Amino acid sequence: MKRVGLLGCGAIGSEIAFAIDSGKISAKLTHIYDFSKDNSKKLVDKLQNKPVVTENVGLLAASPVDLIIEAASQDAVRDDILSILQNRKDVMIMSVGALLDESIFDIVMDGCRDFNKRVYLPSGAIIGLDGIRAVQDELDLVTLVTTKNPRALKGAKFFETSTIDPDKITTSVVIYEGNAQEAVKLFPANINVAALLSLAGIGSEKTRVKIIADPCASKNTHEIYAEGKFGKFSIKVENVPSPSNPKTSRLATLAAIECLKKICGTPLNIGT
């Protein structure tokens, strides 16, 4: 049975921990770390099988686990990924936006090669990455249109330099248009899905992103438009937000759990 370590005990990390604890996934959660001691304590208190709470991320990386799941932040990926790979752990990354920084991407790829480790990127809050990958060489255009309630966008770096105040948005409005490369920096906790699309498709400079703030939105909606020599397709997902973090969709958690099941060796593998 695989031993799992968890970096980040928030909305996604906690649900993954509950899925393991309930026996839904054939794995053992043995070590966890969150820089908020309160968040790791709250999680441990709710688990039947108590993992060790490490004092720092270095101790998590060095703990006797097979896989570490990052469900923390892009900063955590930037700061900790090398140490995790050097400690010869496979890693699942949720804060995928960090990988659009070329130097981080190279560290990850070199680390995987040098230490013979794997990195897993679950499909997160979107669907259709199988299709995007399949037509990768024939794609001319990929656009992601994300609509969230301003409440879910609040706190993004974007607002530090923008004249838009998320608290004062009263009608549906396009607040951002640009490419994925820039979008993941301005909205690090909202648009990691743009990084997934970029990595599977035509790259982060060519992948277009539009973000709409809609005060009437009760869902996190992602629309993907892809076009090229192969034809075209469009996909729309209307995600229920996670109750503990409105920025994060429930689908992102479920996709991570499904990915973990696959890693832990479910006998039935469906789809690509």
Ligand X SMILES: O=C([O-])CC(=O)C(=O)O
Ligand Y SMILES: NC(=O)C1=CN([C@@H]2O[C@H](COP(=O)(O)OP(=O)(O)OC[C@H]3O[C@@H](n4cnc5c(N)ncnc54)[C@H](O)[C@@H]3O)[C@@H](O)[C@H]2O)C=CC1
Residue by residue, DSSP assigns 207-225 as: -EEEEEE-TT--SEEEEEE
Q: Give me 137's structure tokens.
A: 């060489």
Q: Which is nearer to ligand X, 198 or 249 (CB)?
A: 249
| Residue 125 counted as an annotated binding residue | yes
Does an H or E element contain 175, and which? strand 173-179
The residues binding ligand Y (CB under 6 A) are 7-13, 34-36, 39, 57, 71-76, 94-96, 124-125, 189, 192-193, 245, 248, 252
Q: Which is nearer to ligand Y, 75 or 138 (CB)?
A: 75
Q: Which does 86 bind (CB under 5 to 8 A by kind): ligand X, ligand Y, none?
A: none
Residue by residue, DSSP assigns 151-162 as: HHHTT-THHHH-
Q: Which is nearer to ligand Y, 8 or 111 (CB)?
A: 8
Q: Which is nearer to ligand Y, 82 or 230 (CB)?
A: 82
The residues binding ligand X (CB under 6 A) are 124-125, 189-193, 220, 239, 247-249, 252
| Residue 190 counted as an annotated binding residue | no
Closest CA to 256 of 30, 87, 14, 34: 14
Does the annotation count 222 as an active-site position? yes
Q: Which does 34 bind (CB under 5 to 8 A by kind): ligand X, ligand Y, none?
A: ligand Y
Could you tell me the smallest distance in angstroms from the CB atom of residue 175 to ligand Y? 18
Locus of tokens 């040098």: 114
Could you tell me the smallest distance in angstroms from the CB atom of residue 181 to ligand Y? 16
Q: Report d(CA 87, CA 239) in Å as an integer.
A: 36
Q: Give me 148's structure tokens.
A: 């969230």
Could you tell me the smallest distance in angstroms from the CB atom of residue 252 to ligand Y? 3
Of 31, 148, 185, 222, the catalytic one is 222
Q: If 0-12 CB within 10 Å is exposed, 13-18 middle and 19+ buried, where does residue 242 land?
A: buried
C-alpha dihedral over 89, 92, 95, 97, to 10 degrees? Answer: 90
Q: Which does 166 bind (CB under 5 to 8 A by kind): ligand X, ligand Y, none?
A: none
Instruction: Please report, in range form, the residues annotated as the binding site for NAD(+).
Output: 125, 192
User: Which residue numbers are catalytic?
Assistant: 222
Instruction: Please report, in range form, the residues annotated as the binding site.
Output: 125, 192
